[in-house]
Amino acid sequence: MSDPMSVLAMAGATTIVGAMATSAWEATRGRVAELFRRRGADEPATVGAQLDGDARLVTDDPDPQAAREDLLRPWARRLAALLNEHPEAGEDVRLLVERAAAELPPGTQQWVQHVTAHAGGTAFGAQGPGSSVHVHLPSTPGADDGPVGGAGRAG
């Protein structure tokens, strides 16, 4: 997922499943259902029923976070399909993400980031308020053990 619409679809999906079983759910649910109105007058009811079922899965699961992770890809696909059919919906998805994030209780505002480096590369990542990057390089025989550099820089 590297193109902007796919990234937006994943952000929307993360927002949707992240809001399930929180105080932000009802408002988020309504916005998501309305977003799909572009596909037809009956679509908000259909999407609303899917959202209700998925929210129950999250609520009833002994591991709600695992349930959210399982629901992430299907919602990303639904949003990607909607954005493919209706690119003008992109701004509404952005607003959905912003509004839901503002309504989530502070303890549920989470950021997940996967940073990968291959073939000897180096990768850094930081997000969220007060973020910093700490670099720990592997020690070589005779080298000083421990972190190298400071927050946000290597060496």
Same domain, 78 and 127: no
CA distance 139 to 61: 43
How far does CA 51 lie from the centroid of its chain?
16
Range of the domain at 38: 4-108
Same domain, 120 and 98: no
Q: Quote the number of domains for the chain.
A: 2
Select from 91, 108, 125 the last residue of a domain: 108
**Percentage of the chain exceeding pLDDT 70:** 67
Same domain, 99 and 55: yes
Q: Specify whether the CB–CB gap between 140 and 128 falls below 8 A.
A: no
Same domain, 87 and 128: no
Same domain, 118 and 98: no
pLDDT in tens, 44-102: 999 999 999 999 999 999 999 999 999 999 999 999 999 999 999 999 999 999 999 88
